[in-house]
Amino acid sequence: MPIQLSVIIVSYNSFNILKRCLKSLYEFTSGISFEVIIVDNASSEGDISKIIVDFSNIRVIKNDDNIGFAAANNKGLNIAEGKYILFLNNDVIFKENTLQKILLFLESSNDSRMLIGCRLLNDDGSIQISIDRFDSIWNTLTTSFFLYTFFPKSKVFNRYYENFSELKDPKSVHIIKGAFILSNKKFIDELGGFDERFFFYSEEKDLCKRAINFGGKVIFYPNTEVIHLGGATAGEESWFKYKHILISKIQYFSKHYSFLKSTIIISIFVLGIVIRIPTYIFIGIFNKSFLNKSFLCLKQIIYLPKAIMLRNGK
């Protein structure tokens, strides 16, 4: 039977989370033929083959080094045999037959040039940010200066406002989160997969930008949902996270915007980091975890010159 869907999962340690992901995938997926391709970025946790022994149709690519999220996904893409591709984070948990629902929608649309994402939930069932808008001077300003937190349901001040609306029908959006991206393999191949200059973060934003520029669509499908643990593998407040957010944003701004616009956006973004240092110190008086956030923001400012040097590649 031909394989309809290739599920590509990039793994780096956190094997217990990966096993939970796989268990839910196989438990709730029916009515379609699929394969799973796990690309392991030189995990040090143990032998990944012990994690997959209970599951069928899994292939593993073991990298000698951590080559990053984008490059690892592309290695999986190169050997995928399915008509459709799902780029899936290893910290996603299925709770219903999400893949069949989205494939039925995709096949009924007669449009193969789409990237599709679904609603993401936190582990407690609350709604997680699932869609985003492309960066502009205004929404970078509102995000950097905390305005979106004061006006969470405002179209003017909150770039994430659609996450709080009751969308019931599929909708064209700018960006779907990289935890779950499903598309026709032919379209992904036409786009050239992910841009491998993005080591970690912003790679899905870049892919969505290129898809729309290429005449395709980015679709949010709200009629099914998955749990996304989020940050379980990278660490919620780690230097790895803060470092690569900084690098990837500068790379993205420099790639997709004019020199003048990217300079303005980067300046606003950096100013937002500077403002967070004293703000988090003050909040840290009442909640000590914010002291670590303040320290990480300071490290971002110190690292900024190198991040700018890395804007055209790793």
| Phi then psi dihedrals of residue 258, to 5 deg | -60, 165
Q: What 3-state DSSP class applies to 248?
A: helix
What does the block give as tokens for 280? 């988090």
Query: What was the pLDDT predicted at 53?
Result: 87
pLDDT surpasses 60 at 260: yes
Q: Please, what's the b/e burial string for 299-308 (b: 16 or more CB within 10 A of its CB; e: otherwise)?
A: ebeebbeebe
Average pLDDT, the chain: 92
SS3 content of the chain, % helix, strand, coil (to 5): 45, 20, 35
Residues 5-135+158-228: name the CATH superfamily: Spore Coat Polysaccharide Biosynthesis Protein SpsA; Chain A (3.90.550.10)
pLDDT of 236 > 80? The answer is: no
Most confident by average pLDDT, 97-111, 149-163, 204-218:
204-218
| pTM to 2 decimal places | 0.92
Mean pLDDT, residues 1-5: 88
State the sign of the Cα–Cα–Cα–Cα dihedral 204, 126, 240, 179: negative
State yes or no: pLDDT of 231 exceeds 60: no
Nearest of 175, 184, 179, 185 to residue 252 by alpha carbon: 175
Across 244-255, average pLDDT? 95
Share of the chain above pLDDT 90, in %: 79
pLDDT exceeds 90 at position 303 = yes
Rounded Cα gap, residues 142 and 164, in angstroms: 17
Catalogue the E-assigned strands of the chain: 5-11, 34-40, 58-62, 84-89, 92-94, 114-121, 131-132, 171-172, 175-176, 180-184, 217-228
Which among 159, 217, 171, 161 is positioned nearest to 191, based on CA atoms? 217
Element (H, E) at 20: helix 15-28
pLDDT band of residue 310 (cuts 50, 70, 90) is: confident
Please give the single-letter amino acid code of residue 216: G
**For residue 195, pLDDT beyond 70:** yes
pLDDT at 227: 96
Q: What percent of the chain has pLDDT above 70?
A: 96
Lowest mean pLDDT among 114-123, 150-159, 269-278: 150-159
Question: What pLDDT, on a 0 to 100 scale, did the predictor assign at position 166?
Answer: 80
- pLDDT confidence tier of residue 13, bands split at 50, 70 and 90: confident
Over 50: is that where the pLDDT of 255 sits?
yes
Mark 190-202 as b/e (b = at least 16 C-beta within 10 Å).
Answer: bbebbbbbbbbbb
Mean pLDDT of 29-58: 90
Task: Kindly report, residue by residue over 51-96, the tens digit of the pLDDT.
Answer: 888 898 899 999 999 999 999 999 999 999 999 999 999 999 999 9
Per-residue buried b or exposed e for 155-164, using 16+ beta carbons within 10 Å of the residue's own CB: eebbbbbbbe
Residues of the chain with CATH 3.90.550.10: 5-135+158-228
